[in-house]
A and B are shown apart, each in its own frame.
Chain A
Amino acid sequence: MTAHGATGGETSAAIRDRVLARNEMRSLRIPMAIMIALALGAPFVVYPVFLMKMLCWALFACAFNLLIGYVGLLSFGHALFFGGAGYLAAHAAKVWGLPFELAVLTGTATAALLGLAVGWLAIRRQGIYFAMITLALAQMFYFFCLRAPFTGGEDGIQAVPRGKLLGLLSLESDLTMYFVVLAIFLFGFFFIFRVVHSPFGQVLKAVRENEPRAVSLGYKSDQYKLIAFVLSAALAGLAGGTKSIVFHLASLTDVHWGTSGEVILMVLLGGLGTVFGPIVGALVIVCVESYLAQLGGWVTVVQGALFVVCVLSFRRGIIGELSRVLHRPL
Chain B
Amino acid sequence: MRIASRLLALACLLPLAAMAEEKVVKIGVLNDMSGLYADLSGSGSVEAAKMAAEEFGNKVAGMPIQIVGADHQNKPDIGSGIATKWYDVDGVDAIVDVPNSGVALAVAKITADKNKVFIDSGAATSDLTGKACTPNTVHWTYDTWSLANGTGKAVVKAGGDTWFFLTADYAFGKALERDTRAVVEANGGKVLGSVLHPLNTADFSSFLLQAQASKAKIIGLANAGGDTINSIKSAAEFGIVQGGQKLAGLLVFITDIHALGLKTANGLQLTSAFYWDRDDKTRAWSKKFAARMNGRMPSMVQAGVYAGVLHYLKAVQALKSDQDGKAVVAKMKALPTDDPAFGKGTIRADGRKIHPMYLYEVKKPAESKGPWDYYKLVREIPASEAFRPLDQGECPLVAAKK
Chain A residues with a Cβ under 8 A of chain B: 43-50, 53, 143, 146-147, 152-156, 158-159, 247-249, 251-254, 283-284, 287-288, 290-291, 293-294, 296-297, 322
B8 located at the interface, meaning its Cβ lies under 8 Å from any Cβ of chain A in the complex? no
Among B71, B76, B82, B199, max chain A CB count under 10 A is at B76
Q: Cβ of A154 and Cβ of B33 under 8 Å apart?
A: no
Contact with A along B107-136 (1 / 0, CB 8 A): 001000000000000000000000000000
Q: Given B70, B81, B84, B105, which contacts A158 in the complex, CB threshold below 8 Å?
A: B105
The distance in angstroms between the C-alpha atoms of A170 and B169, with both chains bound, is 39
Q: Cβ of B16 and Cβ of A45 under 8 Å apart?
A: yes
Q: Given A48, A156, A251, A287, which contacts B13 in the complex, CB threshold below 8 Å?
A: A287
The distance in angstroms between the C-alpha atoms of A248 and B109, with both chains bound, is 10
Q: Given A44, A50, A249, A290, which contacts B76 in the complex, CB threshold below 8 Å?
A: A249
The distance in angstroms between the C-alpha atoms of A265 and B377, with both chains bound, is 52
17 A-B contact pairs sorted by A residue (CB < 8 Å): A43-B17, A45-B16, A47-B85, A47-B88, A47-B89, A50-B14, A147-B170, A154-B170, A155-B101, A158-B76, A158-B106, A159-B109, A247-B81, A248-B80, A249-B77, A249-B80, A249-B106
B291 located at the interface, meaning its Cβ lies under 8 Å from any Cβ of chain A in the complex? no
Contact partners of A50 in chain B: CB under 8 A: 14-15, 85
B171 located at the interface, meaning its Cβ lies under 8 Å from any Cβ of chain A in the complex? yes
Q: Cβ of B199 and Cβ of A146 under 8 Å apart?
A: yes
Looking at chain A's contact residues, the main secondary structure is helix
- Known A249-B106, A287-B10; contact A47-B16, beta-carbon cutoff 8 A: yes
- Known A154-B170, A251-B75; contact A47-B15, beta-carbon cutoff 8 A: yes
CB distance from B359 to the nearest CB of A (A): 27
Contact partners of B71 in chain A: CB under 8 A: 293-294, 296
Contact with A along B13-37 (1 / 0, CB 8 A): 1111100000000000000011000
B261 located at the interface, meaning its Cβ lies under 8 Å from any Cβ of chain A in the complex? no
Contact partners of B199 in chain A: CB under 8 A: 146, 154
Q: Given A46, A152, A283, which contacts B171 in the complex, CB threshold below 8 Å?
A: A152
B253 located at the interface, meaning its Cβ lies under 8 Å from any Cβ of chain A in the complex? no
The distance in angstroms between the C-alpha atoms of A185 and B185, with both chains bound, is 55
Contact partners of B106 in chain A: CB under 8 A: 156, 158-159, 248-249
Q: Cβ of A44 and Cβ of B17 under 8 Å apart?
A: yes
Q: What is the interface residue range for chain B against chain A?
A: 35 or more
Chain B residues with a Cβ under 8 A of chain A: 3, 10, 13-17, 33-34, 70-71, 73, 75-78, 80-82, 84-85, 88-89, 100-102, 105-106, 109, 169-172, 198-199
- Known A253-B77, A294-B70; contact A48-B172, beta-carbon cutoff 8 A: no
CB distance from B72 to the nearest CB of A (A): 9
How many pairs of residues, A versus B, come closer than 8 Å at their CB atoms?
Answer: 100
Q: Cβ of B101 and Cβ of A154 under 8 Å apart?
A: yes
The distance in angstroms between the C-alpha atoms of A147 and B100, with both chains bound, is 17
CB distance from B22 to the nearest CB of A (A): 18
- Known A147-B170, A154-B101, A287-B10; contact A296-B16, beta-carbon cutoff 8 A: no
Q: Cβ of A46 and Cβ of B170 under 8 Å apart?
A: no
Q: Cβ of B84 and Cβ of A46 under 8 Å apart?
A: no
CB distance from B115 to the nearest CB of A (A): 16
The 5 closest A-B pairs by CB, nearest first: A155-B102, A297-B34, A296-B34, A287-B13, A296-B71
CB distance from A310 to the nearest CB of B (A): 17
Closest chain B residue to A44, Cβ basis: B17
Closest chain B residue to A43, Cβ basis: B17
Q: Given B14, B73, B82, B171, which contacts A287 in the complex, CB threshold below 8 Å?
A: B14
- Known A46-B16, A155-B105, A287-B14; contact A293-B78, beta-carbon cutoff 8 A: yes
The distance in angstroms between the C-alpha atoms of A249 and B75, with both chains bound, is 11
Contact partners of B101 in chain A: CB under 8 A: 154-155
Contact partners of B3 in chain A: CB under 8 A: 322
- Known A50-B15, A293-B71; contact A251-B77, beta-carbon cutoff 8 A: yes
- Known A44-B17, A48-B17; contact A156-B76, beta-carbon cutoff 8 A: yes
Q: Cβ of B85 and Cβ of A49 under 8 Å apart?
A: yes
Contact partners of A287 in chain B: CB under 8 A: 10, 13-14
CB distance from B230 to the nearest CB of A (A): 17
For the complex with contacts A47-B16, A155-B102, 17 further pairs of A-B residues with Cβ separation under 8 Å are A43-B17, A44-B17, A45-B16, A46-B15, A146-B169, A146-B199, A152-B102, A158-B106, A248-B80, A249-B76, A249-B106, A253-B75, A254-B77, A283-B10, A287-B13, A296-B71, A322-B3
